[in-house]
C-alpha cells in the first residue's frame, strides 16, 4: 500500500460540499423545523436546537479542513465524521417520535394475524441452545463490521466510487431516520415489557398511551446469557438503545444496502463472505426481540428501494 497517495494534495480539489454532507444538512434542516414547531411539547428543545447547530458547524469545519489540506485522507475524514454522528441522530429519533402516538399495538396485532403468534416471543423459546443463541448474537453484532468493511473497501479498493457509495449509505440511513421520526414503533423488547408477556401470549395488545415518554426500560435479552456475543449486544443495548426505530428494521435495510454496494464492485469473494452474516441478521433481529418479523420484511424492501433511489439520485446529479 502506498501511503503517500492518501496524503498527496489533489490537483483539482472539490470546492463545494460532498453530496452526503448536503443530505446531512438537509436532515438537520428538516428536523430543526420539527423541533421549532413542536418546541412546547419537547423536553429540552434548546438542547436539540443547539445540537443541530453544532453538527452543522462540524460539517462545515470538516469542509474547511479539506480545503486547507485537500487529499484522500481528509476526504475520508469528512465521511468518517458523518458516519460517527449517526449514533447521535439515532438517539434523537426517540426525542422526535415521542410527539406521535405509539403504534406498537397495531404492529403486534398485524404480526399476530399473519403468523398466529409473536415470532419474536417464541423464536428464542424454541431455540435457547448456547450455540444457536451465540450465532444469533454474533450475527446481530456483525451489522457494524459489515458497514465498516463496505466503507473501507470502497475507500482503499474502489476509490473512484467511494463518494457515491458513501452517499448511498448515508442517505439510506437518514431516510430510515425520517421514518423513525414519524412512525413511533419501539419493537418487542420494549412493548412486551410495557404490557406484560402474559398479555402478549393471550394475543392482547393494549395501547400504552404515554408510557414511553418516561420509560426506557426493556426486556432482558433472551438466549444463552453467558455467551461473549450475548454480552457484547447487551452492553450495546444498555449504552445506546432507545425505544425507537423498530419499523422498518434498519439493521436489515442497511445490510441490504451494503450487500448491493459490494455486489456492484464484482468482488464475489467479499460478497459471499459477508452474505451469511447479512442473512442471519434477518433472523437475529427477531431472535433478540429487537424487531417484529414484519419489520424484517419491511427492511428488506426499503433497503432495496433506498439503494436504487439514492444511487439514481447520485448518478443524475453528479
- CB-count burial class (<10 Å; 0-12, 13-18, 19+) for 137: buried
Residues 60 and 110 in one domain: no
Predicted confidence (pLDDT) at residue 236 exceeds the cutoff of 90: no
- Average pLDDT value for the chain: 96
Residues 27 and 146 in one domain: no
Domain that holds residue 234: 100-317
Residue with cell 403468523: 115
The per-residue pLDDT for 12 is 87
Q: Considering 52, 84, 116, which residue would you say is the last residue of a domain?
A: 84
Q: Would you say residue 90 lies in a domain? A: no
How far apart CA 76 and CA 163 sit, in angstroms, is 9
* pLDDT single digits (tens) 301-315: 999 999 999 999 999
Cell numbers placing 234? 447487551
Q: Would you say residue 94 lies in a domain? A: no
* pLDDT single digits (tens) 46-89: 999 999 999 999 999 999 999 999 999 999 999 999 999 999 99
Q: Would you say residue 89 lies in a domain? A: no
**Which candidate, 212, 158, 166, places its Cα nearest to that of 186?**
212
Cβ neighbors of 3 (< 8 A, separation 6 or more) are none
Residues 27 and 121 in one domain: no
Residues 113 and 74 in one domain: no
Residues 111 and 12 in one domain: no
Q: Would you say residue 95 lies in a domain? A: no
Cell numbers placing 243? 425505544
- CB-count burial class (<10 Å; 0-12, 13-18, 19+) for 3: exposed
Predicted confidence (pLDDT) at residue 14 exceeds the cutoff of 90: no
Residues 260 and 209 in one domain: yes
Q: Would you say residue 74 lies in a domain? A: yes
Q: What pTM does this model have?
A: 0.96
Largest CA distance in the chain: 67
* pLDDT single digits (tens) 162-218: 999 999 999 999 999 999 999 999 999 999 999 999 999 999 999 999 999 999 999
How far apart CA 152 and CA 93 sit, in angstroms, is 27
CB 248 within 8 A of CB 298: yes
What is the DSSP code string of 150-200?
A: HHHHHHHH-GGGHHHHHHHHHHHHHHHHHHHHHS----HHHHHHHH-HHHH
Residues 147 and 49 in one domain: no
The per-residue pLDDT for 51 is 97
Q: Considering 55, 84, 113, which residue would you say is the last residue of a domain?
A: 84
What is the DSSP code string of 18-74?
A: -HHHHHHHHHHHHHHHHHHHTGGGSS-HHHHHHHHHHHHHHHHHHHHHHHHS-SHHH
Q: Considering 30, 55, 84, which residue would you say is the last residue of a domain?
A: 84
Predicted confidence (pLDDT) at residue 1 exceeds the cutoff of 80: no
Q: Would you say residue 264 lies in a domain? A: yes
Residues 236 and 288 in one domain: yes
* CA quadruple 46, 209, 217, 86: dihedral sign: negative
Q: Would you say residue 91 lies in a domain? A: no
Residues 105 and 158 in one domain: yes
**Which candidate, 252, 240, 259, 255, places its Cα nearest to that of 291?**
252
Is 115 strand, coil or helix? helix
Residues 70 and 39 in one domain: yes
Residues 74 and 172 in one domain: no
CB 97 within 8 A of CB 183: yes
Amino acid at each position: 500500500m502506498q501511503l503517500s497517495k492518501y496524503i498527496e494534495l489533489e490537483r483539482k480539489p472539490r470546492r463545494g460540499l460532498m453530496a452526503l454532507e448536503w443530505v446531512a444538512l438537509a436532515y438537520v434542516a428538516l428536523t430543526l423545523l420539527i423541533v421549532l414547531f413542536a418546541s412546547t411539547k419537547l423536553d429540552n428543545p434548546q438542547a436539540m436546537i443547539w445540537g443541530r447547530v453544532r453538527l452543522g458547524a462540524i460539517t462545515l469545519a470538516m469542509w474547511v479542513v479539506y480545503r486547507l489540506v485537500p487529499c484522500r485522507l481528509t476526504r475520508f475524514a469528512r465521511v468518517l465524521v458523518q458516519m460517527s454522528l449517526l449514533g447521535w441522530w439515532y438517539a434523537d429519533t426517540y426525542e422526535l417520535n415521542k410527539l406521535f402516538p405509539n403504534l406498537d399495538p397495531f404492529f403486534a396485532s398485524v404480526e399476530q394475524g399473519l403468523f398466529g403468534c409473536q415470532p419474536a416471543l417464541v423464536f428464542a423459546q424454541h431455540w435457547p441452545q448456547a450455540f444457536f443463541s451465540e450465532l444469533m448474537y454474533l450475527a446481530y453484532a456483525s451489522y457494524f463490521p459489515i458497514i465498516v468493511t463496505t466503507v473501507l473497501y470502497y475507500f482503499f479498493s474502489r476509490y473512484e466510487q467511494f463518494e457515491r457509495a458513501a452517499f448511498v449509505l448515508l442517505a439510506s440511513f437518514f431516510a430510515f431516520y425520517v421514518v423513525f421520526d414519524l412512525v413511533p414503533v419501539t419493537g418487542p423488547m420494549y412493548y412486551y415489557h410495557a404490557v406484560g408477556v402474559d398479555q402478549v401470549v393471550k394475543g392482547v395488545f393494549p395501547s400504552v398511551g404515554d408510557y414511553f415518554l418516561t420509560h426506557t426500560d426493556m426486556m432482558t435479552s433472551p438466549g444463552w446469557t453467558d455467551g461473549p456475543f450475548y454480552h457484547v449486544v447487551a452492553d450495546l443495548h444498555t449504552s445506546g438503545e432507545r425505544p425507537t426505530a423498530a419499523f422498518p428494521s434498519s439493521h436489515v435495510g442497511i445490510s441490504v444496502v451494503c450487500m448491493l454496494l459490494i455486489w456492484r464492485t464484482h468482488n464475489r469473494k467479499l460478497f459471499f463472505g459477508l452474505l451469511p452474516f447479512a442473512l442471519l441478521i434477518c433472523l437475529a433481529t427477531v431472535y433478540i426481540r429487537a424487531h417484529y418479523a414484519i419489520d424484517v420484511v419491511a427492511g428488506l424492501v426499503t433497503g432495496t428501494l433506498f439503494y436504487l433511489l439514492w444511487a439514481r439520485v447520485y448518478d443524475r446529479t453528479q
